[in-house]
A and B are shown apart, each in its own frame.
Chain A
Amino acid sequence: MVDVTNNGTTLFALFELSAPVKALVEKLQQAGIPLERIEVISPLPLHDARVTSPPRIPLYALTMTGGFAGIAVGLFFAAGTALFYPIMTGGKPVVAPPVVGIVSFETMMLLAIVTTFVAMVIRLRRGSRHAVVRDSRIDDGAVAVSVQMDGGDTQPAAVEALLREAGAFEIKPVRKDRVRMRRDAGKDAEQEGLWLWLGCAALALSSITAYSRDMEEQASYQSQEAPRRHSPPGSIPLTSRAIVSSAPVTPDEQLAAGTRVFRINCVHCHGPEGGGDGPVAGYLRDYRKICRPLMSNDSPWPLSMRS
């Protein structure tokens, strides 16, 4: 990894994907270059060349921490809020264990995944502070190895020889000023990023508008105020039933109105087809007697209720 304050030179070598990178890294280490100063950049993960030291805290430990925190959050919301502000509903327990389980499962997963993601992003960013050289040929299928020498006992020439031996098709030194320039570019990118995030935030904020408060916004009229509200359509005056009789005219309408009344008042015992098989019928002691008229063939109720 390149340290800009260091006076040493950095060698940057390109290899084919099939190059024995792992062996090379081992040789470089034997030559006295610490692992932190060697960087292998590839367009795809090189599983055979694990040239990094494992992180101090493994990622899965963070995941599990997040998961446990999530369980706690789930317990708090599903059980805690119910306990602190108990609302009785129909003889159900205030805290229902299966519910707490389900909610906690979701919050556990949520926090575990988000924690893993955040930790990963932080680690990626930390890693990218060091590596500096990008070469478009890497994306086209080359592996780059950059070796940073501290200028002391290791000889650039010896390192170069090692790189050549491993099959590097190009080796070039990376100058310090180039490194610095890259860093500034990185800073620019960060600023651009900041603006982008700010823009997104502004957009999100602008989408939040005042919420309606239904009742407060509805027109309300006191009893003596104009305009006078009339009773809703279909209401029947207390004093007269005249309106009722004027309702259905055609036979179809009459049948429909009758069906409706039948459904509301009769169907529970007499059943949808008038067969005396309504869901409540079984609870009546002498239901056969009650339903007989409707079960006969000349019954006026061959109603098809299923349409």
Chain B
Amino acid sequence: MTNPAPADGPQIPKINRDLLEPLLSTHWSYFLLVGALAGLVAAGAGAWSYQFRTGIGQTNLHPPVFWGVYIASFIFWVGASHSGTFISGVLRLTKAEWRRPVTRIAELMTFISLIIATLFVFYHLGRVWRWYYLIPYPNQREIWPNFRSPLMWDAMAVFTYATASTIYLYLPLIPDFALMRDRIEDWRKPLYRVLSLGWQGTQHQWQVLETAMRIITPLIVMVMVSVHSIVGWDFGVSLVPAWHSTIFAPYFVVGAVHSGVGLVVIGMYILRKVYHLEDYIGQEHFDKMGKLLLLTTLGLAYLYFAELLTIWYGNIPDHMWVVDSLLSGPFAVPFWFMVACVYVIPLLALTLPAFRRRPLGVMVIGVLINIGMYIERVLLIVPPLSYPRLPFNWDTYVPS
């Protein structure tokens, strides 16, 4: 800015400029995008209000398939939220230097996808206005939520996770809020002033902040694992064929990380392109993310194979109906498409070091993985529900 520039100076002011730039200048197309998205959101809100008035039957959910696209979306978005905690949490714990430009992108994703995941819980409720039965409070009927229900665990876990990840997003933001409080002079200033909590950058404050982050990081990683395990147990503790499996919890967690990492790659690529952050998010970051994706691909494939193998080898008819419907039955097309998107293509592409160094390529893999994982979540829910143990109401389900 002024005076004898400090030795490291020329770089640090550049960091300030580059990274605050997206907040200060706005291209016209930004407003176009916001407008288009807002329109879509409004359409969705309209659809929801229609479902409000006419009932959840509008979604084609009917016996025996009670859980459909909403729950699949919920799982998908909770999974997506594992991006932030996994990447920034685990990488912070292991003190990986390359995490620095990636953490914020990932944490923001965690925060936002949790909001969306929560929304899906509410979409899915037949009578949304009864949701407060989930809150354990002393009421006049002396009825407490039944904590034996795994859905109740879910409510607790998602609430804990949402709170924790908001805090986790916020902590490393405090010094940045202070920076923006000093650098940005418009209507956002009071907001930043409040959010920066009077941050000055004294060593006392740094110490407090870093201690807090050191404590919270491992905790939130544990919460992350528990949250998706519980979502997995929602299925695992049921007796529905092909859900009743011990492998569901780890399978869900790994799958969540898989799609989460894929989402972060997409975010990294787009933000890097739009805001010209090539100096910060380099090829090596895509390379590292590609390796992570490879790891989760292999892990997930292993778990998925183990799950299918035990069912196939056991050859229990109830379970085989489900597996048959996936491998060669009515769900075969989406199933094999999913296998290609989630396992085969990422595995083939990401093992090539040259491929991993191409941001666009890794991004496309991220997109494929997320499409695939979404299909996978739907396939996880619909076929087992379509084939109850007594076959009198076998029926399939197509989302409306």
Contact = CB atoms under 8 A, between A and B. Distances in A.
Genuine A/B complex: yes
Contacts, number: 237
B204 interface: yes
Given A41-B200, A50-B207, A103-B156, A267 B391 contact: yes
A85 B171 CA distance: 40
Interface in A111-160: 112-114, 116-117, 119-121, 123-125, 127-131, 134, 136-142
Interface string A48-63: 0111100100111001
Interface in A168-216: 169-170, 186, 189, 192-193, 196-197, 211-212, 214
B1 A278 contact: no
Query: Chain B interface mostly helix, strand, loop or mixed?
Result: helix
Interface stretch (B8-16, B264-272, B281-289): B8-16
Contact of A137 (B2, B175, B199): B2
Interface in B8-43: 8-9, 11-13, 16
A263 B393 contact: yes
B216 interface: yes
A184 B254 CA distance: 52
Contact of A59 (B127, B146, B211): B211
B315 interface: no
**Residue of B216, B317, B392 with most chain A CB atoms under a 10 A cut-off:** B392
Contacts of B46: none
Given A89-B148, A106-B157, A306-B330, A278 B197 contact: no
Contacts of B318: 279
Contacts of A60: 211, 215
A105 interface: yes
A122 to B, nearest CB: 9
B194 A192 contact: yes
Nearest to B389: A279
Contact of B1 (A41, A58, A137, A280): A137
A107 interface: yes
B8 A196 contact: no
Interface in B350-400: 389-394, 396
Given A18-B8, A114-B167, A96 B148 contact: yes
A59 B202 CA distance: 18
Nearest to A15: B6
B93 to A, nearest CB: 15
Contact of A169 (B4, B8, B12, B159): B4
A60 B213 CA distance: 11
A63 B215 contact: yes
A66 B167 CA distance: 15
A109 B219 contact: yes
Nearest to A262: B392
Contacts of A102: 153, 226, 230
B203 interface: yes
Interface string B175-206: 10001001100000011011001111111111
B129 interface: yes
Given A110-B160, A196-B191, A85 B201 contact: no
**Residue of A129, A139, A193 with most chain B CB atoms under a 10 A cut-off:** A139
A305 B390 CA distance: 13
B6 A106 contact: no
B164 interface: yes
A85 B156 contact: no
B50 interface: no
A82 B197 CA distance: 41
Interface in B141-179: 142-144, 146-148, 152-153, 156-157, 159-160, 163-164, 167, 171, 174-175, 179
Nearest to A170: B3
A17 B152 CA distance: 51
B391 A278 contact: yes
Contacts of B325: 306
B208 A124 contact: yes
B215 A39 contact: no
Nearest to A54: B207
B202 A106 contact: no
B345 interface: no
B91 interface: no
B209 A107 contact: no
A260 B160 CA distance: 46
B119 interface: no
Interface string A12-55: 00011110000000000000000000011111111001111001
A284 B351 CA distance: 55
Contacts of B7: 16-18
B278 interface: no
Given A106-B153, A192-B190, A307 B200 contact: no
A169 B6 CA distance: 9
Contact of B205 (A92, A110, A127, A193): A127
Interface of B: 1-4, 6-9, 11-13, 16, 127, 129-130, 132, 136, 142-144, 146-148, 152-153, 156-157, 159-160, 163-164, 167, 171, 174-175, 179, 182-183, 190-191, 193-194, 197-212, 215-216, 219-220, 222-223, 226, 230, 317-318, 325, 329-330, 389-394, 396
Given A106-B153, A109-B222, 10 more contacts: A18-B7, A41-B202, A43-B12, A45-B206, A103-B147, A110-B164, A113-B220, A127-B208, A140-B16, A141-B9
15 contacts: A18-B8, A42-B201, A52-B207, A78-B147, A85-B143, A99-B147, A106-B160, A106-B226, A114-B167, A120-B211, A128-B197, A128-B198, A142-B9, A263-B391, A263-B392
